[in-house]
Amino acid sequence: MGRWAPDARGRLERAALELFVEQGYTATTVPQIAERAGLTTRTFFRHFADKREVFFDGDAIPQAARRLLEQAPADVDPLALLRHGLRQVGVERFDGRREEVRRRREIILAEPALRERDAQKRDDLVRVLRPGLLARGVDPLGAALLAETSVAVLHVALETWLADPEERVFGDVTDACFHRLLMTSAPV
Amino acid sequence: MGRWAPDARGRLERAALELFVEQGYTATTVPQIAERAGLTTRTFFRHFADKREVFFDGDAIPQAARRLLEQAPADVDPLALLRHGLRQVGVERFDGRREEVRRRREIILAEPALRERDAQKRDDLVRVLRPGLLARGVDPLGAALLAETSVAVLHVALETWLADPEERVFGDVTDACFHRLLMTSAPV
DNA sequence: GTCTATATCGCGATAGAC
DNA sequence: GTCTATCGCGATATAGAC
């Protein structure tokens, strides 16, 4: 145990989430979050670039995606790799936590500032996937389209999964989306 | 002529673009923009919700999309309608203005705050396309995927079109993207 | 950690347009 | 008169500089 209470970052995240639920995003100020976490405003901004970032898990997903694309054997089919990656995201972040994920999503969708950051996070992922696919031999146009498509599938699948009465595993929903989108010649 | 010089909004937009080019986005303050346009800071915020918005054309594209989806004859195939819509966007905003569009894009890509807003604008379009497609009889999952796909194609096609040595018409690039994405059973 | 700039927005007043 | 666009003042929170 050091001089400070541990897990400052986690405490800030939890304090922020609590306050957002209690008062809404806009009404919650950074000093309030810091106070509830027993820290100073300055410390908040050392951990998060801005108030919105406390709501997102940094670069975790893009970094995992980069690792996956770099480390998977070169002979694995890119589309299969992406499907596996999305299933992995589900296992690590979604499956078995529907209510938690749903609550978080609702807060994001209700707040334009958070929707905006969410959209940016998706774009960040596209920008990691694209060069990763290129490095695996996919041509530039195909890599761009496949990167965008995968993130779109992640997005649509998340929403579908949250509303799914059958409570499927997330990876099954992403697979269904990919299938619907790519395996049909008349997808409409 | 009224009491005020006309086109306050346009003057603010032009002043902002000039200053962004001269000094960069961050170094440019709202008071500077307002001053160059001969208006006050307060007036700037009456026309634009925030500093970023001065760089984007409001809801123009989503509104045009909504109109298209609502007014086209019911028997037009949704995918064909989307392809037509994207071609229209090209005709109205891109074709023949490559350099202007390129300059704008470069500023956006260089500035995280603008990239974020750009991502949000794309999401806004998705959120208009989706119910529009539903109203045209596309099933929910198909509408969600097709909406996301169309916006992804718009995005990828814009980049491709900007780099295209053949200087194709924008609509031809979007068609090529759609074809690549949807008409192939093994798109990778 | 402290200090400060500046983005953002609420309120009341004003000046023509209709 | 009523409506709309603008102005001026002031308050507050974010975010970055020192």
pLDDT digits (tens, 9 = 90+) for A22-38: 999 999 999 999 999 99
* Identity of residue A7: D
* Identity of residue B41: T
Size of interface A-B (CB pairs under 8 A): 92
A41 touches strand D (CB under 7 A): yes
Predicted TM-score of the model (pTM): 0.94
Q: Say how far A22 CA is from D4 C1', in Å.
A: 38
Could you tell me if A14 and A25 lie in one domain? yes
For the segment A73-100, the average pLDDT, to the nearest whole number, is 97
Interface test with B, best of A50, A116, A164, A177 (most B CBs within 10 A): A116
Could you tell me if B62 and B48 lie in one domain? no
pLDDT at B165: 93
Could you tell me if B71 and B160 lie in one domain? yes
Could you tell me if B76 and B118 lie in one domain? yes
A2 falls within a domain: no
CB contact (8 A) between residue B115 and residue A116: no
Could you tell me if B110 and B163 lie in one domain? yes
The CATH code of the domain that includes A105 is: 1.10.357.10
CB contact (8 A) between residue A145 and residue B117: no
B170 falls within a domain: yes
Number of domains in chain B: 2
pLDDT at B7: 86
Protein-contacted bases of chain C (C-beta within 7 A)? 1-3, 6-11, 15-17
The parent domain of residue B41 ranges over 8-54
For the segment A63-77, the average pLDDT, to the nearest whole number, is 97
Residues in chain A: 188
Could you tell me if A17 and A62 lie in one domain? no
Could you tell me if B82 and B50 lie in one domain? no
Encode B131-158: b = buried (16+ Cβ within 10 Å), e = exposed.
ebbbebebeebbbbbbbbbbbbbbbbbb
pLDDT at B1: 47
pLDDT at A188: 38
CB contact (8 A) between residue B156 and residue A142: no
pLDDT at B173: 98
List the alpha helices (DSSP H) in chain A: 8-23, 30-36, 41-47, 60-71, 78-89, 98-110, 112-135, 140-163, 170-182
B6 touches strand C (CB under 7 A): no
Question: Following DSSP, what letter does each residue of B88-114 receive, concatenated?
Answer: HHIIIIITT-HHHHHHHHHHHHH-HHH
Could you tell me if A113 and A135 lie in one domain? yes
Q: Give the number of C-alpha atoms closer than 13 A to the C-alpha of residue A137, restricted to the C-beta side.
A: 8
The Cα–Cα gap between A71 and A48 comes to: 29
B187 falls within a domain: no
The Cα–Cα gap between A107 and A61 comes to: 20
pLDDT at B188: 38
Structure tokens at A76: 């694995």
* Identity of residue A133: L
The CATH code of the domain that includes B41 is: 1.10.10.60
Residue nearest to nucleotide D16 (CA to C1'): A45
A22 falls within a domain: yes
Extract the residue ranges of chain B whose pLDDT is less than 50. Answer: 1, 185-188
Could you tell me if B43 and B107 lie in one domain? no
* Identity of residue A171: G
Could you tell me if A28 and A79 lie in one domain? no
Q: Which are the contacts of B121, defined by CB distance < 8 A and separation ≥ 6?
A: B56, B61
Could you tell me if B88 and B131 lie in one domain? yes
A98 falls within a domain: yes
CB contact (8 A) between residue B187 and residue A145: yes
pLDDT tens-digit map of B116-169: 999 999 999 999 999 999 999 999 999 999 999 999 999 999 999 999 999 999
What is the overall mean pLDDT for chain A? 94
Please check the confidence at residue A125 and state whether its pLDDT lies above 70: yes
